[in-house]
Amino acid sequence: MDSSEKTAASVIGPGLLVAFVKSTRPKQWTKNLLVFMAFFFTIDQEWDLAEIETGVRFFAKSAIAFVLFSALSGAVYLVNDIVDVEKDRQHPRKRFRPIASGKLPVPLAQVGAAILAVAGLAVAYALEPLLGLVAALYLTTMLFYSFMLKKIVLLDVFSIAAGFILRAVAGAAVLQVPISPWLYICTGLGALFIALSKRRSELALAGEDAAKQRDILNTYSVPLLDQFVAVVAPATVVSYALYTVTSENLPENDAMLLTVPFVVYGLFRYMFLVHRKGLGEAPEDILITDVPLIISIVLWLATAATVLVVFRG
């Protein structure tokens, strides 16, 4: 190999690696933070704050679950981009994705997706068999979404919500702790709210090209999606409020109600960004860039943690 060939190889290698990592969508790994929910709600319940060793062990298990679900979701995104490659090339933003733009060859993406999926499932099962089962169910659901469910009206958004719920279930499975069913209901409704808002933004921005970019958009309309959101948003707030006063693993003095205003503000802020700012097509961008929403989330975490530490035990 002469010097020019060596130079080309050195450029191609890192370039393909960067393209591969981009195709696993690191920004969307923020969704996998849901696996920490179970750990968060074990504060001063399953382990004593004085027992640092137990807390570190719980956190480490949750962190591993986060990495595993990031690998599994990365595999799903690779498969999804392979399946949607022609549709993505019709989209003003998605056409720059590595697979759609040709920067990442499809065969390499297929091999990478298989490696991530198999490795993720194997490690999940080795860590905790129940976690392996949940991970397998998540991967199966998301693959069904990529190949079929995303083309079926309503089932497309319900399958997305199921993915969020399974992340929360995985967080409890890896720690072998029970979580209130209300929390799963809240997670599912919140995810459904985000999925419907995403569809609304996609439809509003695509206009006449909606069907070219995503088949399912042809079956929805903006007014219809607004009606769906009008049902799901209040249901989310009510279910969360009920969770704060009925869950057996929360303080009996209903102090967790103090966190409800942050949930309401977060929903309203998200709806404002979708309707007035034209955002919502990329929920992960909203969650990591909108300062008021980030502050609301931080205040919710701080208030909830304070309530759990002070009033439960």
- Domain borders along the chain are 19-179, 180-313
In the block, tokens 């060793």 appear at 53
- Structural fold of domain 19-179: Tetracycline Repressor; domain 2 (1.10.357)
For the whole model, what pTM was predicted? 0.89
Give the residue ranges of the chain where pLDDT is below 70.
Answer: 1-13, 43-52, 210-212, 312-313
Do 260 and 240 meet the contact criterion of CB atoms below 8 Å apart? yes
Number of H helices, E strands in the chain: 14, 0
88: its two tokens:
């993505």
CA 218 to chain centre: 25
Angle in degrees, 0-180, between the axes of helices 52-83 and 129-147, rounded to the nearest 10? 20
Contact (CB, 8 A) for 214 and 202: yes
Q: What is the pLDDT of residue 239?
A: 96
pLDDT value of residue 94 = 85
Reported residue count of the chain is 313
C-alpha distances out from residue 128 to 94, 121, 144, 288, Å: 37, 11, 24, 31
